[in-house]
A and B are shown apart, each in its own frame.
Chain A
Amino acid sequence: MKPKTVALILAGGRVDELNVLTYYRPKSAVPFGGVARVIDFPLSNLMQSGIERVAILSQYRSYSLINHIGIGAAWDMVGRHRGISILPPFTGFGHSDWYRGSADAIYQNLDFIRYHDPETVLVLSGDHIYSMDYRPLIDYHQAKGADLTMACLEVPREQAHRFGVAEIDDEDGSLGGRVLRYLEKPARPRFAWASLTVYCFKPEVLYQQLEVNAREDDSYEFGRNVLPRMMFERRRVYGYKFRGYWGYARTIEEYWQANMDCLGASPRVELASWPFRTNLEHGGVRDCQPAKIGSHALVKDSVIANGSVVDGQVEHSVLFPGVRVGKGAVVRDSILFYNTVVEPGARLDKVITDVEVRIGAEVQVGEPVPPAEQEATVVGSGNLIPAGRRIGAGCTLYPNLAPEKLARDLGPGEVAR
């Protein structure tokens, strides 16, 4: 059975983003929202859209990602005509190399696409938090006979310089239109439909463009190389106007905000109403008992996953499975990854702790001020912060620090490595 659409997820670049949270894992495997990994969003979207032939292109520290994907059963992608393949870089007779960019990663795996011979190739980034049914996008792409259709989101003009932005005519009104101009991270943007790195390609055009890119260019990115060339060649490039939530977590502050978007009375990210799946097998999450809230606990405006035990105060925070918050401890505006332990009397304000972190008794991290007035402190995985330590706002602690690195207090913005 020939799949109509084959999807490829770009999930493996070493991005200098999210600080120490991407020390041991690609961005697509970074935990989110108390239960998920970022890549769960594109995978759940694919499942919802009935696209069941999927490849994940991964090269940076891919173990965490491979572990999370498993055999793909969590997204129902196991079967005679369904599957998730993880495609790492490989050596071959001719060209062999690490993936040199997003376009090169696809180029090196064209045989995978050719083997399945689809009508449409969907190229996605594994790094974004959003809920989207790809079917209307693909239908639009087909209806227009487009060479490329990209999903775009209108962003505030002053932020548009951070994105690849398109000018879209109003050929089809609110649905989308022909892309008139496309600029990658322009200094002074005059239009603001930002590309979401959700591309629908006509296969032959993709093959041809990637071959030219591999032959003639010296960098290998869709945004920087392939799209500008297609615009220059006046190819049929269309923009599909997306209007939902889109979590673009490139900085720690954005990542923090996207997690906080899961909170409140009517959260911007409401996972309960998104068609959402994750691999509960990963890390044994499925075997956790319900979250236990103690007699002296105080919980306000938070999400708390199974397997957590809260005896202290948790406010406006996201707790992943297996987190412990001891008596008299206070956790505010924070994100605590799997198995973080906060001992009694500790105080955390705007802190992100990676997995297996232990915060000693009476430790203070961050300042007890509103979150807008300080930057988050990020504690890398496996760290043990000794009792009584003071760590300022905006600090970075690299993973698994030797005890002597934490033998003194850290001032605001310090980096311990």
Chain B
Amino acid sequence: MSDIRDTLVLVLAGGVGSRLNVLVQTRAKPAVPFGGVYRIIDFALSNVMTSGLTQVGVLTQYKPLSLMKHIGTGEAWDFTGRTRGVKILPPRTGAKESDWYKGTADAVRQNLDFINAHPSQDVLMLSGDHIYQMDFAEMIRFHREKKADVTIAMMVVPESEIHQFGTGITDGSGRIIDWEEKPKKPRTNLASMGIYVFATDYLRRVLAENREEVDFGMHILPKAIGRDRVFAFPFHGYWRDVGTVQAYWEANMDVLREDTSISPEAWGIRPNIEAEGRRYDRPPARFLPGCTVRHAMFAAGCRIEGEVTDSLLSPGVWVKKGAKVTGSILFHDCVVEENAVVDLAILDKRVRVGKGAVVGSGPHKEVPNKLYPKHLYTGITVVGKGVEIPAKMVIGRNCVVEPFVQAEDFPSTFMETGATVAVREAGRR
């Protein structure tokens, strides 16, 4: 039996995560900033590191640039060394076939050569999309004890959310005897977290069976259940799929809470601030005379002259005199000018809110966005990367301002609740 540390890890980081709207227009979902200094994939990678695993492949497809830059050599997660490594595995052309990844199983199938080049008894597969802390070594031990072909990490979720997940029904020994993918009428509250341990030989075999089977949750697992040894590894703890704007906002706010069950630093989650590529380091957050701050987090390089409450600020955010930021998430190097207000909003990197402007105005938080009613319906307004909001502009609730929108792109100085603004001339940014 080989050492658990030799288990090969595949991180599936190719998902678009389109419900995150403007946050994923310039980057893949795993690369979306989280908790001030992290990106979502840091949670998966750090869990791999703290579990003692050292061989990692990251399967990318959608807008991989910021992800690749972020992962770099993998040094931030201690993946550099003679026996350690992290490899980025994009789709590629080959002698026999070449295509985009058509699903999770297809992506792994196209990288069988990577698996063969790293002999290991088991393969651990993760998604790069989730906020959680987990000891994978414990899961692999469980998998081996059960002599399982596949082990799926599963947790209890509220009945109202179960329809978003793959669900499993287990017998007394933890073996999964029935499977339903995203059921309308659930028979169980046990949901798959998208974390699998496969016995490597078994994985090769099932992937060879039928090339039309491109997705683990839809095809491979339902077929395996009943036929092969598929077990549920129970997980009890904090785990969030931050796939929607609302869930993303809530998980960030969970980091803020004083009685929080999520503490990235205590969990050993490592960011990669070196990947910011700045010429110089940011000094600590500066709180100027006359500022008001309460229940908020501030990364290095922030400069606070105004009021900030119930908010999370990434490095380099500047909140000027008389400005007020409440219930919001501001990414790197945003500037909130004098007397501007930001309420219940997510501002992507380098957004500038002009003097006296208001982002998040009006009482009708329940009026959804007209263009994206399924993305924005709880009152949160999202502003894309590099947007310039002119002075005195008023933006309502559930609004979308697309990346790189400039002052002249706004049709008027008032954006009603549920509206969307995009760059007028295509190609300009």
**A289/B36 in contact, CB under 8 A:** yes
**A302/B287 in contact, CB under 8 A:** yes
**B297/A293 in contact, CB under 8 A:** yes
Interface of A is mostly: loop
**A306/B299 in contact, CB under 8 A:** yes
**B283/A291 in contact, CB under 8 A:** no
**A299/B287 in contact, CB under 8 A:** yes
**A299/B281 in contact, CB under 8 A:** no
**B280/A293 in contact, CB under 8 A:** no
Closest to B283 in A: A271
Closest to B304 in A: A299
B284 CB contact (under 8 Å) in A35, A286, A289:
A35
**B280/A292 in contact, CB under 8 A:** no
Mask: chain B, 252-291; 1 = CB below 8 Å from A; 0 = not: 0001101000011100001101100001111111111111
CB neighbours of A295 from chain B (8 A): 258, 294-295
CB neighbours of A44 from chain B (8 A): 280
Q: Which of B19-68 contact A (CB under 8 A)?
A: 35-38
**B258/A294 in contact, CB under 8 A:** yes
Q: How far is the CA of A304 from the CA of B76 in the complex (A)?
A: 24
Mask: chain A, 237-280; 1 = CB below 8 Å from B; 0 = not: 00000000000000000000000001011000001101111101
**B285/A286 in contact, CB under 8 A:** no
Which of A44, A291, A299 is most buried by chain B, counting CB atoms within 10 A of its CB? A291
**A303/B289 in contact, CB under 8 A:** no
CB neighbours of A299 from chain B (8 A): 287, 291, 293
Q: How far is the CA of A133 from the CA of B62 in the complex (A)?
A: 44
Known: A276-B280, A288-B265. A293 touches B271 (CB 8 A): no
**B291/A300 in contact, CB under 8 A:** yes
Count residues of chain B with CB under 8 A from any CB of chain A: 42
**A286/B271 in contact, CB under 8 A:** yes
Q: Does A290 contact B (CB under 8 A)?
A: yes
**A306/B281 in contact, CB under 8 A:** no
Which of B256, B273, B285, B290 is most buried by chain A, counting CB atoms within 10 A of its CB? B285
Q: How far is the CA of A300 from the CA of B300 in the complex (A)?
A: 17
Which of B263, B284, B305 is most buried by chain A, counting CB atoms within 10 A of its CB? B284
B270 CB contact (under 8 Å) in A271, A276, A287, A293:
A287
**A278/B281 in contact, CB under 8 A:** yes
Q: How far is the CA of A274 from the CA of B290 in the complex (A)?
A: 24
Q: Does A33 contact B (CB under 8 A)?
A: yes
Q: How far is the CA of A319 from the CA of B284 in the complex (A)?
A: 9
Closest to B267 in A: A289
**B35/A304 in contact, CB under 8 A:** no
Question: How far does the Cβ of A193 sit from chain B's closest Cβ, in whole Å?
Answer: 30
Closest to B266 in A: A289
CB neighbours of B280 from chain A (8 A): 44, 274-277
**A306/B283 in contact, CB under 8 A:** no
Q: Does A34 contact B (CB under 8 A)?
A: yes
**A289/B265 in contact, CB under 8 A:** yes
Closest to B315 in A: A290
Q: Which of A220-249 contact B (CB under 8 A)?
A: none
Q: How far is the CA of A305 from the CA of B297 in the complex (A)?
A: 11
CB neighbours of A289 from chain B (8 A): 35-38, 255, 263-265, 297
Q: How large is the interface on A (under 10, 10 to 19, 20 to 34, 35 or more residues)?
A: 35 or more
Q: Which of B172-214 contact A (CB under 8 A)?
A: none
A294 CB contact (under 8 Å) in B295, B300, B312:
B295
Q: How far is the CA of A286 from the CA of B315 in the complex (A)?
A: 12
**A34/B284 in contact, CB under 8 A:** yes
**B283/A297 in contact, CB under 8 A:** no
Q: Which of A37-55 contact B (CB under 8 A)?
A: 44
**B296/A293 in contact, CB under 8 A:** yes
Q: A-B contact count, CB below 8 Å?
A: 118
CB neighbours of B305 from chain A (8 A): 265
**A293/B283 in contact, CB under 8 A:** no
Closest to A277 in B: B281
Q: Does B10 contact A (CB under 8 A)?
A: no
**B287/A290 in contact, CB under 8 A:** no
Closest to B278 in A: A277
CB neighbours of A303 from chain B (8 A): 283-287
Known: A289-B264, A299-B291. A33 touches B273 (CB 8 A): no
Q: Does A307 contact B (CB under 8 A)?
A: yes
CB neighbours of B282 from chain A (8 A): 272
Q: Which of B296-342 contact A (CB under 8 A)?
A: 296-301, 303, 305, 312-314
**B273/A286 in contact, CB under 8 A:** yes
Q: Does A211 contact B (CB under 8 A)?
A: no
CB neighbours of B298 from chain A (8 A): 290-291, 293, 304
CB neighbours of B293 from chain A (8 A): 293, 297, 299
CB neighbours of A319 from chain B (8 A): 284
Closest to B300 in A: A306
Q: How far is the CA of A306 from the CA of B300 in the complex (A)?
A: 6
Question: How far does the Cβ of A314 sit from chain B's closest Cβ, in whole Å?
Answer: 8
Q: How far is the CA of A44 from the CA of B281 in the complex (A)?
A: 10
CB neighbours of B256 from chain A (8 A): 292
Q: How far is the CA of A276 from the CA of B274 in the complex (A)?
A: 14
Q: How far is the CA of A277 from the CA of B287 in the complex (A)?
A: 21
Q: Does A301 contact B (CB under 8 A)?
A: yes
CB neighbours of A301 from chain B (8 A): 287-289
CB neighbours of B301 from chain A (8 A): 272
CB neighbours of A34 from chain B (8 A): 283-284
**B313/A290 in contact, CB under 8 A:** yes
**A290/B37 in contact, CB under 8 A:** yes
Mask: chain B, 129-164; 1 = CB below 8 Å from A; 0 = not: 000000000000000000000000000000000000
A286 CB contact (under 8 Å) in B35, B258, B274, B291:
B274
Known: A34-B284, A275-B280, A307-B265. A290 touches B289 (CB 8 A): no
**B283/A33 in contact, CB under 8 A:** yes
Which of A289, A290, A301 is most buried by chain B, counting CB atoms within 10 A of its CB? A290
**A293/B294 in contact, CB under 8 A:** yes
**B287/A305 in contact, CB under 8 A:** no
**B284/A287 in contact, CB under 8 A:** no
Which A residues fall within an 8 A CB radius of B?
A: 33-35, 44, 262, 264-265, 271-272, 274-278, 280, 286-297, 299-307, 311, 318-320
Extra pairs beyond A290-B37, A311-B258 (20, CB < 8 Å): A34-B284, A35-B300, A264-B288, A264-B289, A278-B281, A280-B273, A289-B36, A289-B37, A290-B35, A290-B36, A290-B285, A291-B299, A293-B293, A293-B296, A295-B295, A299-B293, A301-B287, A302-B287, A306-B300, A307-B265
Interface pairs A-B: 7 shortest CB-CB: A271-B283, A290-B36, A305-B284, A290-B299, A34-B284, A289-B265, A290-B297
Task: List 22 interface pairs A-B (beta carbons < 8 Å), by A numbering.
Answer: A35-B284, A265-B305, A278-B281, A280-B281, A286-B76, A286-B273, A287-B265, A290-B35, A290-B285, A290-B298, A290-B313, A291-B297, A297-B293, A299-B287, A300-B287, A301-B288, A301-B289, A302-B287, A303-B283, A303-B287, A306-B284, A320-B284
